[in-house]
């Protein structure tokens, strides 16, 4: 028995909860099976029984997880990788030698650093644009030269919001494809492919898995074209598909994606409103607040909550921001995001001295605890 996005009677919440396959056809199990084999036998005519017979090309558990993610994103195919950076670097490997790439100046620092590395090696030319300026992206493009436009929305860690539909229009007019890092928004509230994006990326470690126990990345495509086939081929040759057990854990996480994301969003909104006028907070960065400069766009393309990510600009310097993180008792001072537990991070310390992130910024990943407990913890940490 299997459910499908093509069944118009089923909502995405149902698709996620059943992770496409409600009951295993062979055993009747209501939890999906885990296939750990690295190789698969051929039949009596020496024909592979599966579409791939070696694990570098995938395995049934991996394909199950990919099918589920593709369905939730309304894409035609998905490819899971052993990490988010493995997915990103594989996509960037398809950029032609010397071609132009445009990306925001503030974004996940791992992606920014890799793009700068490619630029320094002469692999690409790179323009980093100010995502807070709606006109900056279009100005950064070079018609006939720009091959890839990479955006995040909301942007880590300012949570500025880029209009995906407008970015897609500008990218396509320049002859480029648009890839969207939607890690912080998830298919619950934003589906970039339906807004014109060509590829959507997630660090599946984060909201898709949601339990801080998987390292994974995923790319989902709107069209299974030649570039997509190259990405799939590179993943096999490099040997970077997600391992079966991690894929199985990801399926487990997807089954609660909608309830987790909605609770985290509600908590984050409560915290943002509580601290928006707080005497020890200079500014709260959260797209759900009307005061946030990206709120209007966020309302348009984030249709089911504004997510669990927000940042606090505290009154004080970097040392004080670090102290606030270490005083927390419920919120964990740790890297990552999107888990059921709340995390706090002094982003400048993590990114290093060259980071454009303000010294007094604390990034919060809000989980599913009771909002009052989280607010009380932040209050006591602020002293």
Contact present, 366 and 342 (Cβ < 8 Å): yes
Residue 361, Cβ density class (10 Å: 0-12 exposed, 13-18 middle, ≥19 buried): buried
Chain-centroid distance, C-alpha 292: 21
The catalytic residue among 56, 255, 273, 299 is: 56
Whether residue 206 lies in the annotated active site:
yes
Of 337, 328, 277, the C-alpha closest to 310 is 337
Concerning whether 40 is annotated as a catalytic residue, the answer is no
Give kind and range of the element (H or E) at residue 261.
helix 257-275
To which H or E segment does residue 285 belong? Answer: strand 281-285
Sorted by sequence, the CB contacts under 8 Å of residue 92 that are 6+ apart come out as 101, 114, 115, 118, 124, 148
Q: What is the DSSP string of 20-85?
A: T-SS-TTT--SS------SB--B-TTS-BSSS-SBGGG--HHHHHHHHHHHHHHT-SEEEEESSHH
Dihedral, CA of residue 71, residue 77, residue 82 and residue 86, to nearest 10:
-120
Q: What separation, in Å, do the N-terminal and C-terminal C-alpha atoms of the chain show? A: 55
Active-site option among 206, 222, 235, 260: 206
Question: Nearest-CA neighbor of 206 among 87, 371, 372?
Answer: 87
Q: Which position among 181, 198, 359, 377 bears the catalytic label?
A: 181
What are the two backbone dihedrals, phi and then psi, of residue 299, each rounded to the nearest 5 degrees? -60, -35
Q: Encoding tokens for residue 247?
A: 């894929």
The CB density around residue 157, as the number of other CB atoms within 10 Å, is: 28
Q: Could you confirm whether 348 is annotated as catalytic?
A: no
Tokens of 55: 């694990």
C-alpha–C-alpha distance, residues 215 and 287, integer Å: 27
Q: Which among 328, 364, 330, 361 has a CA at the least distance from the CA of 344? A: 364
318 vs 312: CA distance, rounded Å: 12
Check if 112 is active-site.
Answer: no
Residues serving a catalytic function are 56, 108, 181, 206
């Amino acid at each position: 028995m299997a459910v499908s996005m093509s069944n118009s009677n089923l909502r995405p919440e149902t698709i996620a909860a059943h992770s496409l396959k409600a009951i295993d056809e062979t055993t009747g199990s209501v939890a999906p099976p885990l296939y750990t084999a690295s190789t698969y036998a051929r039949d009596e005519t020496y024909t592979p029984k599966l579409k791939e017979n070696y694990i570098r090309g995938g395995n049934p558990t991996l394909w199950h997880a990919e099918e589920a993610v593709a369905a939730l994103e309304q894409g035609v195919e998905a490819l899971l990788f052993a990490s988010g950076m493995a997915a990103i670097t594989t996509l960037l490997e398809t950029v032609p030698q010397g071609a132009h790439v445009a990306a925001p100046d503030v974004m996940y620092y791992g992606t920014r650093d890799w793009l700068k590395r490619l630029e320094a090696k002469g692999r690409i030319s790179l323009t980093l644009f100010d995502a807070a300026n709606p006109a900056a992206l279009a100005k950064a493009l070079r018609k006939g030269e720009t091959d890839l436009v990479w955006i995040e929305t909301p942007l880590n860690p300012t949570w500025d919001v880029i209009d995906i539909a407008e970015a897609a229009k500008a990218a396509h007019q320049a002859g480029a494809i648009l890839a969207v890092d939607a890690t912080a928004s998830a298919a619950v509230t934003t589906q970039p492919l339906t807004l014109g994006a060509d590829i959507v990326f997630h660090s599946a470690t984060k909201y898709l898995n949601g339990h801080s126990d998987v390292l994974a990345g995923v790319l989902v495509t709107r069209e299974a074209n030649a570039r997509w086939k190259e990405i799939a081929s590179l993943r096999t040759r490099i040997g970077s598909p997600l391992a079966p057990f991690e894929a199985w854990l990801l399926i487990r996480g997807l089954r609660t994606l909608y309830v987790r994301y909605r609770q985290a969003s509600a908590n984050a909104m409560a915290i943002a409103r509580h601290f928006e006028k707080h005497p020890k907070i200079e500014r709260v960065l959260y797209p759900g607040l009307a005061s946030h400069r990206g709120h209007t766009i966020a309302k348009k393309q984030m249709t089911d909550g504004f997510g669990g990510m927000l940042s606090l600009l505290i009154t004080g310097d970097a040392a004080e921001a670090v102290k606030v993180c270490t005083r927390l008792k419920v919120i964990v001072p740790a890297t990552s995001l999107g888990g059921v537990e709340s995390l706090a991070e002094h982003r400048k310390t993590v990114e290093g001295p060259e980071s454009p992130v303000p010294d007094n910024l604390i990034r919060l990943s809000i989980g599913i605890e009771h909002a009052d407990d989280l607010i009380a913890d932040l209050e006591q940490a602020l002293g």
